[in-house]
């Protein structure tokens, strides 16, 4: 038997605090009994909540922290106030100290990324971290990155994202050679920003082992045209939020239409199993959890406003990433491909090859 | 009685050519009988198709053109091959020569924008044109720009877009002071790119008459949080295409769910009027038509792949923009606000105030 997956939880993160975090962890524990938890947060409050979760209590230990990073704290403020002592920092630090395999927080994204980046540092060969989202598509699911770790991207960092996203898709979807596309405003090679065009050239000509398929557009994400969609964080975040908004909008149209007439209401009742399936497919909680990629450790960001079911999905994701050795696979992918990438953007840095 | 709206049509543009363009024009003509058309295209072909549209024929004249801009032509190629003589160029040129009030084309966006920009030139005080889309929202409709005229934007051009988008929303939605938001990755003032932050500052502190409400995120577009959403063309295009893709995806989920069981199918039949309403609400043809803003003349871009009903929506939009004097209103808005804007980004150009 393999060792349990050790998950560090920021028990104070998110809009609803320990109640949601612990309830979510217990749901996930039912699905993956080979998990143990370290809960960082206010000891009294966490202990109290834990009383209603005896199953979770049996595999958890609490580490008391005084400081909570606020949902509206700026990253710099969070670092200043929360470094070394906040529940968020300590959960990340557990990963660094190898006391946990992965950290999960529903706290504010900017602060979490700043702390994770500051404490774990980027992997050798990676210029900066990215946040990867799992996107439900017509053909299953795709990995989309970066959905908001940083704004703008060089050709080099887009290529790194293609490599990391491929590794994640391999782990997550059990694919040999996941297909990769660069998000652009047109499928013709003539369009788009210089960085995206240069990244396309590098992926086509110089990177081995990434199954690069060319440019994709916004509508290709939901269609599932490729398994991995790569873009910089501004447009990636806007794409993600726009899709969420559109789904909400159409759900609301549907509800209104089904309540319009008696016939429609009866029709709705008859078809309610079908609507339940549809609702589940559209449930944003199912795809909850952004994966921070490119750091020396895995950190998962849950939506701050999610409920226990949604937080459980983020914990499931954390479990999967560890169980399937995401980090080792990314490292392996980078070692295999790094020389080509480095040769392009920093031809003078020949020593980097020796980093493995 | 006011004079009819004179519409120049690129009869050869789009995936389906004159058949769709003329059929669409006739549908729109039923709705707005005070319209006349100039049809640019292959005379024989257009004459032939026009035979099945006697009502349209009665208010149209044909101008023969030899050259057709291809749907995949690069903008530079289209300009080289099609300047002065293509159906697309001539339709735009009719606006320049005041022979028409507006031009509509379903031809390729890059070529159409290049030709429109080259021939009509930007309005005084506008640094570059933008494409505005009408976006169906939970609260009605919003104007979103730029959805792909150019990549990247300075603070100045974002502010110009806010002014032009406001004018368009005033015309289109009959609002006194349409609300305006800048698309960003976070609602907190700390996030986002420098240009967006600077544009926010200018709109807040220096521009009079734009009802600026702050940053909005991708999900705010479909929610209809503001009447006008301003962003640069790369992210705007990705947002638009992503929303289209998500709508398609959910429509497909819905169809699958309603066919799953006999109960669902019967429910679907009972509720079919409701589903028809829903389908109409989700119909992308309803919102067909991108408005080129910032040029000395109005040009409307229809989706290339649309059918007659979709093309008719683009012609309707052209009619509305002329009837409600979009151009004059933008000019008026610019005159009122230009000094402030110019004072910020080019403090030395005091002479610009005299342009009005």
Residues of B in contact with A270 (CB under 8 A): 263-264, 266-267, 270
Omega before residue B279 within 30° of 0, cis: no
Percent of chain B exceeding pLDDT 70 equals: 92
Crossing angle of helices A155-173 and A326-345, rounded to 10°: 160
pLDDT score at A298: 96
pLDDT score at B336: 59
Closest CA to A158 of A191, A123, A194, A189: A194
The C-alpha atoms of residue B271 and residue B291 are separated, in whole angstroms, by 36
The angle formed by the CA atoms of residues B230, B231 and B237, to the nearest 5 degrees, is 115
CB B238 within 8 A of CB B252: no
Which residues does A54 contact at the CB level (< 8 Å), separation at least 6? Answer: none
Omega before residue B146 within 30° of 0, cis: yes
Backbone angles phi, psi at A129, to 5 degrees: -75, 165
Number of Cβ within 10 Å of residue A122's Cβ equals 15
A residues 109-148 lying closer than 8 A (beta carbon) to B: 110, 137-138, 148
Average pLDDT (B184-212) is 83
Crossing angle of helices B308-323 and B18-31, rounded to 10°: 50
- The token duo for B107 is 């031809």
Closest CA to A275 of B267, B90, B62: B267
The upper half-sphere exposure of residue B12, i.e. CA atoms within 13 Å in the direction of its Cβ, equals 25
Kindly report, residue by residue over A53-88, the tens digit of the pLDDT. Answer: 999 999 999 999 999 999 888 888 999 999 999 999
The angle formed by the CA atoms of residues B168, B171 and B177, to the nearest 5 degrees, is 80
The C-alpha atoms of residue B333 and residue B169 are separated, in whole angstroms, by 12
Helices (H), chain B: 18-31, 43-50, 54-57, 75-82, 87-96, 109-120, 155-173, 194-205, 218-223, 233-258, 262-270, 272-282, 308-323, 326-345
Closest CA to B282 of A280, A253, A222: A253
Residues of A in contact with B73 (CB under 8 A): none
Residue with more model confidence, B264 or B341: B264
B residues 157-186 lying closer than 8 A (beta carbon) to A: 183, 185-186
Q: Which of A220-234, A280-294, B73-87, B124-138 has the lowest mean pLDDT?
A: A280-294
Average pLDDT (B154-175) is 94
How high is the mean pLDDT of chain A?
A: 88
- The token duo for B123 is 């309005």
Contact flag A243-B245 (C-beta cutoff 8 Å): yes
The C-alpha atoms of residue B314 and residue B298 are separated, in whole angstroms, by 12
Contact flag B221-A237 (C-beta cutoff 8 Å): no
B220 touches chain A (CB under 8 A): yes
Q: Which of A143-147, A195-199, A248-252 has the lowest mean pLDDT?
A: A248-252
Q: Which of A326-335, B138-147, B150-159, B186-195 has the lowest mean pLDDT?
A: B186-195
The C-alpha atoms of residue B55 and residue B61 are separated, in whole angstroms, by 12
pLDDT over 70 at A355, yes or no: no
Average pLDDT (B118-137) is 94
pLDDT score at A347: 36
Kindly report, residue by residue over B266-322, the tens digit of the pLDDT. Answer: 888 888 888 888 777 777 777 788 999 999 999 999 999 899 999 999 999 999 999
Domains of chain A: 1-121+295-324 (3.40.718.10), 135-285 (3.40.718.10)
Backbone angles phi, psi at B138, to 5 degrees: -65, -20
How high is the mean pLDDT of chain B?
A: 88
The C-alpha atoms of residue A117 and residue A126 are separated, in whole angstroms, by 12
């Amino acid at each position: 038997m393999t060792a349990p997956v050790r998950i560090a939880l920021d028990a104070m993160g998110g809009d609803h605090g320990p109640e949601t975090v612990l309830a979510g962890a217990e749901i996930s524990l039912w699905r993956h009994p080979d998990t143990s938890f370290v809960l960082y947060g206010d000891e009294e409050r966490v202990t109290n909540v834990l009383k209603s979760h005896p199953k979770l209590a049996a595999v958890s230990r609490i580490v008391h922290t005084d400081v909570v990073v606020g949902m509206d704290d700026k990253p710099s403020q969070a670092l200043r106030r929360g470094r070394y002592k906040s529940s968020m920092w300590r959960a990340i630090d557990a990963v660094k100290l190898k006391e946990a395999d992965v950290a999960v927080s529903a706290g504010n994204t900017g602060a979490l990324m700043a702390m994770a980046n500051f404490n774990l540092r980027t992997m050798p060969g990676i210029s900066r971290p990215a946040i990867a989202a799992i996107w439900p598509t017509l053909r299953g699911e795709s990995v989309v990155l970066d959905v908001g770790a940083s704004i703008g991207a060089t050709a080099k960092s887009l290529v790194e994202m293609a490599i990391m996203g491929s590794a994640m898709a391999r782990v997550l979807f059990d694919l040999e050679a996941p297909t990769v596309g660069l998000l652009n405003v047109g499928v013709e090679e003539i369009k788009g920003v210089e960085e995206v065009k240069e990244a396309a050239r590098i992926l086509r000509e110089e990177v081995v082992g990434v199954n690069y398929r060319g440019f994709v557009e916004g509508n290709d994400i939901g269609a599932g045209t490729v398994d991995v969609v790569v873009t910089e964080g501004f447009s990636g975040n806007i794409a993600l939020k726009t899709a969420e908004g559109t789904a909400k909008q159409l759900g609301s149209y549907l509800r209104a239409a089904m309540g319009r007439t008696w016939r429609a209401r009866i029709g709705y009742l008859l078809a309610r199993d079908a609507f339940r399936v549809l609702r589940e497919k559209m449930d944003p909680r199912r795809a909850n959890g952004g994966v921070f990629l490119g750091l020396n450790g895995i950190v998962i960001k849950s939506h701050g406003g999610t409920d226990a079911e949604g937080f459980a999905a983020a914990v499931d994701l954390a479990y999967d990433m560890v169980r399937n050795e995401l980090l080792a696979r990314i490292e392996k992918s980078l070692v295999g491909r790094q020389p080509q990438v480095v040769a392009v953007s920093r031809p003078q840095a020949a020593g980097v090859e020796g980093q493995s």
